[in-house]
Protein backbone atom coordinates (compact mmCIF):
# COMPACT_ATOMS: atom_id res chain seq x y z
CA UNK A 1 0.00 0.00 0.00
CA UNK A 2 1.32 3.41 -0.84
CA UNK A 3 1.77 5.93 1.89
CA UNK A 4 -0.70 8.77 2.24
CA UNK A 5 0.55 12.08 0.95
CA UNK A 6 1.23 15.07 3.16
CA UNK A 7 -1.79 16.85 1.69
CA UNK A 8 -4.05 13.98 2.71
CA UNK A 9 -2.63 13.99 6.24
CA UNK A 10 -3.30 17.72 6.50
CA UNK A 11 -6.88 17.06 5.37
CA UNK A 12 -7.22 14.44 8.15
CA UNK A 13 -5.74 16.67 10.85
CA UNK A 14 -8.91 18.83 11.45
CA UNK A 15 -11.10 15.73 11.61
CA UNK A 16 -8.78 14.03 14.08
CA UNK A 17 -8.59 17.22 16.11
CA UNK A 18 -12.39 17.47 16.27
CA UNK A 19 -12.70 13.81 17.28
CA UNK A 20 -10.18 14.21 20.09
CA UNK A 21 -11.33 17.60 21.36
CA UNK A 22 -14.92 16.42 21.35
CA UNK A 23 -13.93 13.94 24.08
CA UNK A 24 -11.31 15.85 26.05
CA UNK A 25 -12.66 19.37 25.64
CA UNK A 26 -11.97 22.00 23.04
CA UNK A 27 -9.75 23.96 25.41
CA UNK A 28 -7.59 20.99 26.42
CA UNK A 29 -3.95 22.10 26.39
CA UNK A 30 -2.80 18.64 25.28
CA UNK A 31 -5.14 18.34 22.28
CA UNK A 32 -2.49 19.17 19.66
CA UNK A 33 -0.09 16.62 21.15
CA UNK A 34 -2.85 14.00 21.10
CA UNK A 35 -3.66 14.78 17.45
CA UNK A 36 0.01 14.47 16.55
CA UNK A 37 0.27 11.16 18.45
CA UNK A 38 -2.81 9.74 16.69
CA UNK A 39 -1.55 10.76 13.25
CA UNK A 40 1.92 9.38 13.99
CA UNK A 41 0.47 6.01 15.04
CA UNK A 42 -1.69 6.01 11.91
CA UNK A 43 1.32 6.68 9.64
CA UNK A 44 3.35 3.97 11.37
CA UNK A 45 0.47 1.52 10.84
CA UNK A 46 0.36 2.45 7.15
CA UNK A 47 4.12 2.06 6.80
CA UNK A 48 3.99 -1.37 8.47
CA UNK A 49 1.07 -2.47 6.25
CA UNK A 50 -1.23 -3.06 9.22
CA UNK A 51 -4.18 -1.69 7.26
CA UNK A 52 -4.94 -4.12 4.43
CA UNK A 53 -8.24 -2.66 3.23
CA UNK A 54 -8.29 1.00 2.10
CA UNK A 55 -11.96 1.22 3.16
CA UNK A 56 -10.99 0.44 6.74
CA UNK A 57 -8.56 3.36 7.11
CA UNK A 58 -11.23 5.64 8.62
CA UNK A 59 -12.37 3.17 11.29
CA UNK A 60 -8.73 2.27 11.99
CA UNK A 61 -7.83 5.93 12.54
CA UNK A 62 -10.92 6.34 14.72
CA UNK A 63 -9.75 3.41 16.86
CA UNK A 64 -6.33 5.02 17.20
CA UNK A 65 -7.99 8.27 18.32
CA UNK A 66 -10.04 6.42 20.94
CA UNK A 67 -6.91 4.71 22.27
CA UNK A 68 -5.03 8.01 22.50
CA UNK A 69 -8.00 9.56 24.35
CA UNK A 70 -8.24 6.63 26.79
CA UNK A 71 -4.51 6.76 27.47
CA UNK A 72 -4.78 10.50 28.13
CA UNK A 73 -7.64 10.00 30.60
CA UNK A 74 -5.75 7.22 32.40
CA UNK A 75 -2.63 9.38 32.63
CA UNK A 76 -4.65 12.31 34.01
CA UNK A 77 -6.28 10.08 36.63
CA UNK A 78 -2.95 8.47 37.54
CA UNK A 79 -1.00 11.73 37.72
CA UNK A 80 -3.79 13.81 39.25
CA UNK A 81 -3.77 14.95 42.86
CA UNK A 82 -4.60 12.34 45.43
CA UNK A 83 -8.07 12.75 46.86
CA UNK A 84 -8.29 13.89 50.45
CA UNK A 85 -8.78 10.95 52.77
CA UNK A 86 -11.64 11.65 55.09
CA UNK A 87 -11.63 10.02 58.51
CA UNK A 88 -14.24 7.39 59.20
CA UNK A 89 -17.23 8.72 61.08
CA UNK A 90 -17.23 7.86 64.78
CA UNK A 91 -19.02 4.68 65.74
CA UNK A 92 -22.51 5.26 66.99
CA UNK A 93 -23.19 3.26 70.14
CA UNK A 94 -26.13 0.87 69.83
CA UNK A 95 -28.44 0.51 72.77
CA UNK A 96 -29.32 -2.87 74.19
CA UNK A 97 -32.84 -2.64 72.78
CA UNK A 98 -31.49 -1.86 69.29
CA UNK A 99 -29.07 -4.78 69.53
CA UNK A 100 -31.94 -7.07 70.49
CA UNK A 101 -34.02 -5.86 67.52
CA UNK A 102 -31.11 -6.38 65.11
CA UNK A 103 -30.46 -9.90 66.44
CA UNK A 104 -34.18 -10.66 66.22
CA UNK A 105 -34.32 -9.45 62.60
CA UNK A 106 -31.22 -11.49 61.69
CA UNK A 107 -32.64 -14.61 63.34
CA UNK A 108 -35.94 -14.11 61.54
CA UNK A 109 -34.17 -13.50 58.19
CA UNK A 110 -32.06 -16.64 58.54
CA UNK A 111 -35.10 -18.70 59.54
CA UNK A 112 -36.72 -17.85 56.19
CA UNK A 113 -33.86 -19.51 54.27
CA UNK A 114 -33.53 -23.19 53.41
CA UNK A 115 -31.26 -25.12 55.76
CA UNK A 116 -28.58 -25.48 53.06
CA UNK A 117 -28.60 -21.75 52.24
CA UNK A 118 -28.47 -20.89 55.94
CA UNK A 119 -25.53 -23.25 56.48
CA UNK A 120 -23.63 -21.90 53.47
CA UNK A 121 -24.13 -18.27 54.55
CA UNK A 122 -23.11 -19.13 58.10
CA UNK A 123 -19.99 -21.00 56.98
CA UNK A 124 -18.89 -18.31 54.53
CA UNK A 125 -19.77 -15.13 56.45
CA UNK A 126 -19.91 -16.02 60.14
CA UNK A 127 -17.25 -18.74 60.33
CA UNK A 128 -15.28 -16.98 57.55
CA UNK A 129 -14.33 -20.24 55.88
CA UNK A 130 -12.51 -19.86 52.57
CA UNK A 131 -14.66 -20.31 49.48
CA UNK A 132 -12.71 -23.41 48.43
CA UNK A 133 -13.45 -25.05 51.78
CA UNK A 134 -17.17 -24.24 51.49
CA UNK A 135 -17.20 -25.68 47.96
CA UNK A 136 -15.67 -28.95 49.15
CA UNK A 137 -17.80 -29.09 52.31
CA UNK A 138 -21.09 -28.78 50.39
CA UNK A 139 -20.00 -30.42 47.12
CA UNK A 140 -20.59 -27.31 45.02
CA UNK A 141 -19.04 -25.95 41.87
CA UNK A 142 -17.90 -22.35 41.79
CA UNK A 143 -20.89 -21.42 39.62
CA UNK A 144 -23.36 -23.15 41.97
CA UNK A 145 -21.81 -21.42 44.97
CA UNK A 146 -22.12 -17.97 43.39
CA UNK A 147 -25.77 -18.59 42.45
CA UNK A 148 -26.66 -19.96 45.90
CA UNK A 149 -24.83 -17.13 47.66
CA UNK A 150 -26.46 -14.45 45.51
CA UNK A 151 -29.98 -15.85 45.93
CA UNK A 152 -29.57 -16.53 49.65
CA UNK A 153 -28.30 -13.00 50.31
CA UNK A 154 -31.20 -11.52 48.35
CA UNK A 155 -33.79 -13.65 50.21
CA UNK A 156 -32.18 -12.75 53.53
CA UNK A 157 -32.10 -9.04 52.67
CA UNK A 158 -35.79 -9.02 51.69
CA UNK A 159 -36.84 -10.94 54.80
CA UNK A 160 -34.63 -8.84 57.10
CA UNK A 161 -35.92 -5.54 55.68
CA UNK A 162 -39.55 -6.69 55.86
CA UNK A 163 -39.10 -7.75 59.49
CA UNK A 164 -37.42 -4.47 60.42
CA UNK A 165 -40.21 -2.46 58.74
CA UNK A 166 -42.86 -4.58 60.45
CA UNK A 167 -41.23 -4.08 63.86
CA UNK A 168 -40.88 -0.34 63.25
CA UNK A 169 -44.52 -0.03 62.23
CA UNK A 170 -45.64 -2.00 65.29
CA UNK A 171 -43.58 0.07 67.75
CA UNK A 172 -45.30 3.35 66.95
CATH of the domain at 144: 1.10.10.10
Q: Is residue 34 assigned to a domain?
A: yes
Q: Is residue 85 assigned to a domain?
A: no
Q: In terms of domains, do 72 and 108 share one?
A: no
**3-class SS at 91?**
coil
Could you report the per-residue pLDDT of 72-97, keeping only the tens digit for each?
A: 988 888 876 766 777 777 878 888 88
Q: Is residue 65 assigned to a domain?
A: yes
This prediction's pTM: 0.45
Closest CA to 167 of 87, 100, 75: 100
Q: Is residue 68 assigned to a domain?
A: yes
Q: Is residue 135 assigned to a domain?
A: yes
DSSP code of 56? Answer: G
Q: Is residue 94 assigned to a domain?
A: no
Q: Which domain holds residue 128?
A: 104-171
Q: In terms of domains, do 67 and 11 share one?
A: yes
CB 39 within 8 A of CB 16: yes
Could you report the per-residue pLDDT of 138-165, keeping only the tens digit for each?
A: 999 999 999 999 899 999 888 888 888 8
Amino acid sequence: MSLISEDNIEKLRPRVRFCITHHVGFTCPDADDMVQEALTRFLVALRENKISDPDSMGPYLNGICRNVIFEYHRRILRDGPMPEILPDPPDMPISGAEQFEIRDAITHGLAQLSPRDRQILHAFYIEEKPKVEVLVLYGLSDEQFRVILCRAKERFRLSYNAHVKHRAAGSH
